[in-house]
């Protein structure tokens, strides 16, 4: 075997020492869900500096330029100014979305995360995930969406921030609300039933614009809010038990007919729904009363009334 000369070895060593070593960045989040969990913690604490650590940065853009299959003209748009402006817009959007959440009466420090829904894809040689985070506040479920999380050499990063989705379960028609109420009874799912109720913070808005004098409004604000939820939850339990007493088989029960009687009552629209259900052996009646909020969505406004067998 031919031996390297001493001088050749020295030259080789000097060459290797002179070559710049590739920078290996520490991986922050190997899984996109870990990124989502950290983002929601930053949201809960309104910690913009913490959030910036999860947001796409200048080095991430450089990695994307080197490793993605975006056209060259698109890559050329990723200038230093673009990176600075993008980060600034991301921070401003974070603060704006936080305000949207707080405007809906959510106390961020008290939210309880329930689940994560992933929508993974691949685009221009990049792994991408859109994630919907569902959380609960005062027994009502809400959602935010993390748009375009990207996997880079330092793990997953947030590339387009998040969007406030509001309530997860909304009812654009009284018919939809009525069917959902019955479905919650057939499965004895009181959590699903709670999503049909007016939230505690929405009750404030409803009472504040009602056509009552100031004294009556204040009385209702002080006494009605807690009573509303207590009464509505008790109504669910009572209806379920009354149905069993009258012989209904809830698990086999389906909606047979819904008759809506809608009344215009400023500033809200109300409806009384007579719902006929069948468990394949007998027919029963349940009456519910609902209101339409200013946003156009329907919620239960009064306790349900059990009508018993009718056929």
For the chain, the domains span 24-167, 174-309
The domain 174-309 is classified under which CATH number: 2.60.420, 1.20.120, 3.40.50, 3.10.450?
3.10.450
For residue 144, the model assigns a pLDDT of: 97
Return d(Cα 273, Cα 264) in angstroms, integer. 15
Residue pair 139/194 in contact by the 8 Å Cβ criterion: yes
Domains 24-167 and 174-309 are alike in CATH topology: yes
Q: How far apart are CA 310 and CA 65, in angstroms?
A: 70
Checking if the pLDDT of 270 tops 90, the result is no
Residue 6 pLDDT: 54
pLDDT score for 203: 78
What's the average model confidence in pLDDT over 287-311? 88
Residue 251 is given by DSSP the state: G
Burial class (CB in 10 A: 0-12, 13-18, 19+), 245: exposed
Residue-wise pLDDT for 47-90, tens only, equals: 999 999 999 999 999 999 999 999 999 999 999 999 999 999 99
Q: Tell me, which fold does domain 24-167 have in CATH?
A: Nuclear Transport Factor 2; Chain: A, (3.10.450)
**Confidence label for 23 from pLDDT (cuts 50, 70 and 90):** low
Residue-level pLDDT at 18: 54
> pLDDT, tens digit, for every residue of 26-41?
889 999 999 999 999 9
The pLDDT assigned to 4 comes to 44
The pLDDT, as a whole number, for residue 2 is 43
The CA distances from residue 231 to 60, 227, 236, in Å, are 53, 6, 9
pLDDT of 92 higher than 80: yes
Q: What is the pLDDT of residue 243?
A: 95
Q: CA 94, CA 128: separation in Å to the nearest integer?
A: 20
Q: Does residue 12 have a pLDDT over 70?
A: no
Least reliable range by pLDDT among 117-121, 218-222, 244-248, 259-263? 218-222
Taking Cα atoms as reference points, which of 106, 135, 108, 132 lies closest to residue 120?
A: 132
Residue 132 host element (H or E): strand 126-137
What was the pLDDT predicted at 129?
A: 98
Q: For residue 263, name the pLDDT band (cuts at 50, 70, 90).
A: confident
pLDDT digits (tens, 9 = 90+) for 116-156: 999 999 999 999 999 999 999 999 999 999 999 999 999 99
**Mean pLDDT across the chain, nearest whole number?**
87
**Which strand (E) or helix (H) includes residue 224?**
helix 214-245
Q: So what's the pLDDT on residue 51?
A: 95
Which residue, among 290, 185, 161, has the nearest Cα to 237 in the 3D structure?
185
Segment 226-237 shows an average pLDDT of 90
- Say whether pLDDT at 211 is over 60: no
pLDDT for residue 44: 96
The percentage of the chain sitting over the pLDDT mark of 70, rounded to a whole number, equals: 84
Helix axes 58-67, 80-103, angle to 10 degrees: 120
């Amino acid at each position: 075997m031919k031996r390297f000369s001493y001088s050749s070895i020295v030259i080789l060593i000097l060459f290797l020492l002179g070559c710049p070593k590739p920078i290996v960045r520490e991986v922050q989040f190997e899984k996109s869900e870990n990124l989502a969990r950290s983002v929601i913690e930053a949201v809960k604490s309104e910690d913009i500096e913490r959030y910036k650590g999860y947001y796409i940065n200048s080095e991430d853009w450089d990695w994307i330029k080197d490793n993605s299959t975006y056209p060259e003209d698109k890559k050329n748009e990723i200038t230093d100014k673009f990176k600075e402006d993008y980060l600034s817009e991301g921070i401003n959007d974070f603060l704006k979305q936080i305000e949207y959440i707080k405007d809906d009466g959510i106390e961020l420090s008290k939210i309880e995360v329930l689940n994560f829904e992933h929508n993974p894809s691949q685009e221009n040689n990049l792994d991408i995930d859109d994630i919907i985070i569902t959380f609960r506040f005062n027994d009502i479920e809400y959602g935010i969406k993390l748009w375009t999380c990207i996997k880079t050499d330092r793990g997953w990063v947030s590339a387009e921030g998040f969007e406030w989705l509001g309530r997860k379960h909304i009812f654009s028609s009284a018919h939809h609300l009525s069917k959902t109420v019955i479905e919650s009874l057939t499965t004895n799912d009181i959590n699903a039933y709670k999503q049909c109720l007016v939230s505690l913070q929405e009750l404030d808005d409803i009472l504040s614009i009602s056509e009552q004098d100031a004294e009556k409004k204040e009385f209702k604000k002080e006494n009605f809010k807690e009573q509303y939820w207590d009464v509505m939850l008790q109504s669910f339990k009572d209806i379920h038990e009354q149905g069993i007493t009258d012989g209904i088989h809830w698990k086999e029960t389906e909606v047979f007919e819904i008759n809506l009687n809608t009344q215009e009552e400023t500033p809200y629209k109300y409806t009384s729904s007579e719902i006929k259900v069948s468990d394949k052996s007998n027919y029963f009646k349940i009456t519910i009363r609902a209101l339409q909020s200013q946003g156009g969505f329907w919620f239960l406004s009064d306790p349900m009334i059990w009508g018993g067998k009718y056929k």
